[in-house]
Chain A
């Protein structure tokens, strides 16, 4: 592969990096003396244009046929482009939220870091090679640490960033350690190669060590219990647009990566000529090495659901509440990520179509969930950011009487929180519905059923804490009736998100078909 091909494969990432440099040039070179508002607007605009360019590049890569060819380290098929497009759109939305905020005097640097972190997200959403994964992950993580600390005048922001950094560094070390085991055992860094070797070797104790280390590392990224401790502090301390970025873009990228790790189950022998017996043998070998990993993942998922939901009940800060709710949602998604539904082998006679179908039915609900969750989370942080800027706090009580102080903002909050609670016809309901149906669909035994029952029971619990916020916004009489003013752009973005949540919820097939189209 020559450099021109390489350039074409990583065109979206390159577009983002160029945009990041452009932002710096525009902001530091031309607008140094301009008013803060103008600088923020210009930086956000250039950032959004960069995202648009990268979007175009992703689409172009698909249409040029590059998608099918791709490369061994970056996939441009299936979940990868869908997640990349979602990452770019969500990044653009978080950049637009910046326009209304005043936590920083260096908007150019902020936007540049956001774009670079997003580039890291694009890489891990598509990566098929341990080294590429690690590079992408570090690019994303380092960006997130900086973004968390970006409110330089705020002690909380610095504290949160320090905690996030220390936990993050530790988890990166775990991950790298796990990767090194994989390399040592199989002699390759490509995921496909590792899978093939696992198939041939069968279960080996050291694989479990490697898997546990990787789960610890990736569990940190998605805030799974017991690696979740950074989340509440970070969500609370980070500036609102940065928190929205962490809650959405970083989550989408990390779950896409988890799917690459756990979703490829039997896909690696695609295209190889093997007899049915041989395949069965390979499959049993492969599954043998999986069972315990799945058990660990399930324990993590259940713990995440329980801790997230129960801890959220006791929060008095809306940001912390959102953090625990994010943990709870991560628990639901992890149920879907677990390869549990695919324990049963795809019938060999069914051929490639059935393999593809099983892959889609595994990955689609997870991607659907995380994309819609990311969208909702951005909106939620947008509302929190506006309220916080006016009232000076994100406590539950600062939302009292919001319907009187800004009816539109309250309506957006209503839609988004009900969607998070999973009330139809909002999109959050379909996300949960698809996911739980997918978990039940293939492995119809007592275990999947019990897991889904638990998840549904906890989403009933979650209604309580979402209603706590809505109660303050709608039920309690306002103590302070001064209107809360939001910047028109912010309001437009929030209304757009709320409208998307409603429309995608009323027509759930839209998003499903869109994601499925990437598997064609």
Chain B
């Protein structure tokens, strides 16, 4: 038993009956939709035509939302329906990032994730989904894909059908018959400035510049109707990336110094640990307040879904926090914890720094985040944050020059790695149109000033210059290191903010 939908766009007249029947069946609040009908227009008068596309959950065989969900609130039933249990949902919105189809929303009443669940309550009672029975054109066909005698199986066997974003490997079970290619590809068209009978989808990002070569293939096409989709993640997440870099990076810088046997005063080490713990706490706090159901944050611990990097990350953060505290305790009562233990803690610091890359990797809807070198980039950022912060403190508190130099050198190297990775990402071609949209948004769109001005110029170029000057002996560390650290930290949060938002810029529907 494997349920799927087939939308016959040859018969669909774009009447929105499915949209409203679904709202009624599930009492879906205003502002969000489980299914909707996108309109695009294509072609030059009088050869122009409007094309409709019924959009909703694809009930993927390989559902990224189920994979990323930290508490198992989203799950796949034995009959192939991807369903959800709002009583388990913590509102982390990662499923919204994982879904390449814009199918999931946060219900404003329950503050939990929701989407088309194939009317599982009706299916279990032996009734058709609400959208199927309302459709005037019988254009929504559903049934068991495993059973070769069902209408859906026969149509799929006989006709040429398409699915959306097959490259994501999700194995969608929402098939389209006769759908327009451009309608299937949300990235093919700019976000509209207006629409034929509603306010245009929220302009959370400006349209990318109307670049002639990019527009050429659109054949006078435009989006005529679509629904709104908010960007799930904002400053909480950008800030969390910085506090996490600090939490991990402070200890990593410390561990590096210890490994290199560069002597350092105990208060500095203890201070780094305390600060690390503080930033770890802040990181957790940011994560919790970003939840739509923050009071449920412990569900991650008590109802963990182990394939989710949100779950794994949470445990990594907890383990790192415990180890870091233990390391600090040992340092406090019996100076100099064994190096092997330091390395163990450092290992968890690395995990803390880089796990977000794997979480972003699970966000199948955001191709910009699918950067293979992202773990390295996050590690570099942790070193920048940790080493330069320590360098600044060390310089200001008059620590030995060798120590300050070592930290500054570490920071400099990390900055160069970070910059190099950004450069590498920019020169390598975007893997998908979705990623390309994000990259355009980052480098030429509304986020360009944040990216270039704060992330690159202030966050990399300036500290590199200052540190180089200081290391070359042409300037005082006490003056330059704090400025470099401050610039780098502001740069990191600016860069991450731009990166997080750019990843979500491309329309998914």
Whether A associates with B in a native complex is no
